């Protein structure tokens, strides 16, 4: 479909197609997708971005397979306006550095996209699976404020066929998502689904800490829990400045504006956390310690926690040394400090005798892989 009615998509129809997408199968039940719903003026900005890439493409129009299904002029109009569609849906996945996980996530998001298109067709909505706008991906990311840790999989306009204003059909009872907001973008996920944030404090993205965190994530997914993984090493997090702004204003917020704001948001919207860090010099990494220092807003001056105890946290620690008791005091102090925020410590594991590239990978130690899986599986039980 390349020409749409300007009639707005009924909210219940939009929810129904997103709900259908959320029911798609996914590798290891990771459900890695996110849907950015775009309306209003942002669509015009996206159209300008797409149109800016056409000159090179149109040079070869006479040999293009598109020539058999649409005229050049109609194609240009479509690119400029996305066919006049009132809604654009952009499908994202988390950019995973592990090739096997990335491949599985892309395939899974494609299955969700297919579900979305089929549901739209059933509701007599038009769609068009597009990858062409990604020729100007850098501009597109700026327009939609897509962070670098997200990968764009596909884009589709969504709307009723030109000349129609079809009424809506009911969405599946008991499920749904937030509504789109005119002129801005909004990320959707299944609102009935619990969510856990996984914080990784290792500077390595393919090391043993990451592998065990991914195994914990698999345990979470088996329970139908949504996840978001954050590599602390990728973020710009300053140390606490001891300004006491959070205490003077009695707020759970920080005066220092950096990437810790994202972590605060994730903690507040999540049902639980998993924190994974290697042990450096008898305690967690500097990246992890910076995160802990900036958790200061969650603790009052008389040590009263501000997070509900219903939010659970479990820990995965890795170390080179074979003796798990060697750094117990440092690990224990760290977990105690995290608990001061109100997070309820559920479990922890210490994976010993590991050194990426020097000693055998943790994947060869079934007992550690099973333990990490259980850390995730049992977190919210």
- Specify the pLDDT at position 75: 76
- Specify the pLDDT at position 164: 56
As a whole number of angstroms, the distance between CA 274 and CA 217 comes to 9
| DSSP-assigned states of every residue in 355-373 | -TTTS--GGG-HHHHHHHH
Q: Which helix (H) or strand (E) holds 230?
A: strand 226-231
- Specify the pLDDT at position 322: 93
The 3-state DSSP composition of the chain as helix, strand, coil percent (nearest 5) reads 40, 20, 40
Q: Which residues of 105-117 are buried (b: 16+ CB within 10 A; e: fewer)?
A: bbebbbbbbebbb
* Contact status, residue 293 vs residue 358, Cβ threshold 8 Å: no
Q: Give the tens place of pLDDT for each residue, 235-278.
A: 999 999 999 999 988 888 899 989 998 898 889 889 999 999 99
- Specify the pLDDT at position 1: 65
Q: Which residues of the chain have pLDDT under 50?
A: 167-191
Classify burial at 236, counting beta carbons within 10 Å of its beta carbon; exposed 0-12, middle 13-18, buried 19 or more: exposed
- Specify the pLDDT at position 336: 94
Q: Is the dihedral of CA 197, 202, 204, 210 positive or negative?
A: negative
- Specify the pLDDT at position 185: 44
Tokens 């009872």 belong to 173
- Measured torsion, CA atoms of residues 16, 26, 147, 202, in degrees rounded to the nearest 10: 150
- Specify the pLDDT at position 114: 95
* Contact status, residue 98 vs residue 210, Cβ threshold 8 Å: yes
CA distances from 342 to 123, 171, 272, 312, 313 (A): 46, 38, 12, 9, 10
Domain architecture of the chain: domains with CATH = 11-188 (3.40.109.10), 195-378 (3.40.50.360)
As a whole number of angstroms, the distance between CA 376 and CA 196 comes to 9
């Amino acid at each position: 479909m390349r020409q749409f009615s300007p009639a707005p998509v009924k909210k219940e129809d939009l929810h129904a197609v997103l709900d259908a997408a959320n029911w798609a199968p996914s590798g290891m039940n990771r459900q890695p997708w996110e849907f950015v719903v775009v309306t209003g003026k942002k669509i015009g900005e996206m159209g300008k971005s797409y149109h800016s890439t056409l000159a090179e493409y149109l040079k070869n129009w006479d040999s293009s397979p598109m020539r058999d299904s649409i005229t050049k002029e109609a194609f240009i109009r479509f690119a400029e306006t996305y066919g006049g569609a009132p809604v654009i849906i952009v499908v994202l996945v988390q950019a995973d550095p592990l090739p096997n996980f990335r491949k599985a996530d892309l395939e899974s998001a494609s299955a969700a996209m297919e579900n979305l298109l089929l549901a739209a067709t059933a509701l007599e909505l038009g769609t068009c699976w597009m990858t062409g706008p990604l020729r100007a991906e850098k501009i597109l990311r700026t327009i939609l404020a897509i962070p670098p840790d997200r990968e764009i999989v596909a884009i589709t306009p969504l709307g009723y066929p030109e000349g129609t204003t079809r009424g809506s059909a009911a969405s599946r009872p008991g499920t749904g998502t937030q509504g789109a907001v005119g002129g801005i973008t909004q990320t959707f996920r299944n609102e009935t689904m619990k969510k856990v944030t996984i914080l990784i404090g290792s500077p390595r993205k393919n090391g043993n800490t990451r592998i065990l965190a991914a195994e914990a994530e698999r345990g979470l997914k088996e329970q139908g829990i949504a996840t978001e993984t954050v590599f602390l090493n990728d973020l710009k997090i300053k140390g606490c400045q001891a300004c006491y702004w959070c205490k003077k204003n009695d707020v759970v917020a920080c005066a220092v504006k950096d990437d810790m704001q994202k972590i605060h948001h994730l903690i507040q919207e999540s049902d639980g956390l998993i924190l994974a860090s290697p042990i450096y010099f008898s305690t967690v990494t500097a990246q992890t310690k910076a995160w802990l220092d900036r958790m200061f807003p969650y603790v009052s001056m008389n040590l009263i926690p501000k997070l509900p105890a219903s939010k659970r946290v479990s820990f995965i620690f890795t170390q080179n040394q074979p003796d798990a008791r060697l750094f117990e005091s440092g690990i224990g102090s760290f977990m105690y400090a995290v608990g001061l925020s109100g997070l309820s410590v559920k479990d922890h594991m210490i994976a010993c005798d590991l050194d990426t590239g020097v000693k055998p990978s943790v994947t060869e130690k079934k007992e550690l892989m099973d333990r990490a899986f259980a850390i995730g599986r049992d977190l919210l039980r």
